[in-house]
Amino acid sequence: MNGLRHSSVIALSLLALSLSGCVVPGRHGEPAVVVPAPPPPPKVVTVPPRPDHAHVWIPGHWKRAHNRWVWVDGRYARRPHPHARWIPGHWKKRRHGWVWIPGHWSRH
């Protein structure tokens, strides 16, 4: 019986490992962040001139780090393809708090 239990534990562990390789991370590869209160208002910044038409401004945003709000500066990023459009990240109110929805490139 002990050998059967041991085999079952190994089989379940291998199954869990194989399934964990199939788990798709959050939409943008980041774990979900849930906080109890909304972030401060966005900082007002002067957007520098665009380097060229292939670049798009990615606005800054607040993130939570070490139990406090930290501002992430905006930046320019090169479009992955000519018609790509940046959809900015944002904080969204959910049942258990505020959740960060990361920004992403549209396909059109």
Alpha-carbon gap, residue 90 to 102, rounded angstroms? 7
Higher-confidence position of 101 and 30: 101
pLDDT score at 30: 58
Q: How far apart are the first and last CA of the chain?
A: 59
Is pLDDT at 9 greater than 60 in this prediction? Answer: no
Rounded mean pLDDT of 51-65?
95
What is the residue whose two structure tokens read 């018609």? 83
- Helix/strand/coil percentages in the chain, nearest 5: 20, 30, 50
Report if pTM > 0.75.
no
**Residue percentage of the chain with pLDDT more than 70:** 70
What pLDDT was estimated at residue 14?
Answer: 33
